A = this chain, B = another copy of it.
Amino acid sequence: MRKRALATLIVSAFIGALLFCSNAGAKDDALPAWNDGPAKQAILDFVKATTAEDSPQFVPPADRIATFDQDGTLWVEHPIYTQAMFALDRLTALAPVHPEWKTEEPFKAALAGDREAMAKFTEGDWAKIVAVTHTGMSTEAFLAIVRQWLATAEHTRFKRPPTELIYQPMLEVMAYLRANGFRTYIVTGGGQEFVRVYSDRVYHVPVEQVVGSSIATTYEVQDGKPVLMREPKIFFIDDKDGKPIGINLFIGKRPVAAFGNSGGDREMLEWTGAGDGARLMMLVLHDDAEREYAYGPANGLPDTKVGTFPQSLMDEAKERGWTVVSMKNDWKRIFAQ
């Protein structure tokens, strides 16, 4: 009996030592999809500075908050945002019961797939499309609709579901930060409920760590059961200045790291950078037309209306010492799968 207990103890110690070694090994290669260079080094240096117990810039685990934009930062946003794909597909699915859309704009152009007209859609046009595709049902029904759509949706160029067009290097950064005690939040201009459908499965980000744009809901009792109904009314836009506002509202702590890729992320990075101590602000630059897309117009890249990275943002990044990630040069591999 005593011998057996002893054996158990020794085996436990041995397994413990093995686990320790494998962890130490993993740590050396936490970012395998990143090429060596200043971007990768900035991540490694930041984590070391904020987590080493003897570091003057040590951040207590409770304050280790990292925020990530989604579209163009974690997954593909061209040629159009995934949620716009969803809205257009939903419009098509609903068209048979809405014959009036055949003559009514913006529905007519959207249903016809008129890219030229759609490129000129105003925010008001998109709001009309969002109203008929995203509201009028309970939150539970909406989640089910998105889930069902994601099961068959396919990207026009890559012929794969949007949830597979996730950037492997960013997944590695998220996992590396979490392994070092950070909590990773998604802070997106996209719909909060939309992203919550797959955030856990795809990014290992639980729904309560998704901050996004939202529409108003009302509490109703239907057939004796309470439901939250989605109303055709915007409640909060989590973009541009809405990002620091949303972060303060939902998290209540200033992030120590923030990742974005467009003008919509400028204020989030400014807000993050304005705190004391070590900070990591990163912007993904889409400069890889071959493996993904190339757009700016910063650095002379082609201009775009989707995920615009203006030259003024590039200038601000340089001035403030934010790290710009070149997809082409810094990423060994683009997609997770």
Number of chain copies forming the complex: 2
> Which A240-287 residues have C-beta < 8 A from chain B?
241, 244-245, 248-253, 267, 270-271, 274
Given contacts A6-B9, A207-B251, A250-B250, 17 further A-B contacts (CB under 8 A): A5-B13, A6-B6, A9-B9, A9-B13, A62-B200, A208-B250, A208-B253, A217-B248, A217-B249, A218-B241, A219-B241, A221-B270, A225-B274, A226-B271, A228-B244, A228-B245, A228-B248
Is A206 close to B, CB under 8 A? yes
Is A210 close to B, CB under 8 A? yes
What is the size category of the interface that chain A forms with chain B?
A: 35 or more
Are the CB atoms of A210 and B252 closer together than 8 Å?
yes
Q: Residue-by-residue, is A38-68 near B (CB-CB < 8 Å gives 1, otherwise 0)?
A: 0000000000000000000000001000000
Are the CB atoms of A252 and B214 closer together than 8 Å?
no
Q: B-contacting residues of A (Cβ < 8 Å)?
A: 5-6, 9-10, 12-13, 62, 139, 192-193, 196, 200, 206-208, 210, 214, 217-219, 221, 225-226, 228, 235, 241, 244-245, 248-253, 267, 270-271, 274
| Residue of chain B at shortest CB distance from A10 | B9
Interface core residue of A200, A235, A248, A271 (most chain B CB under 10 Å):
A248
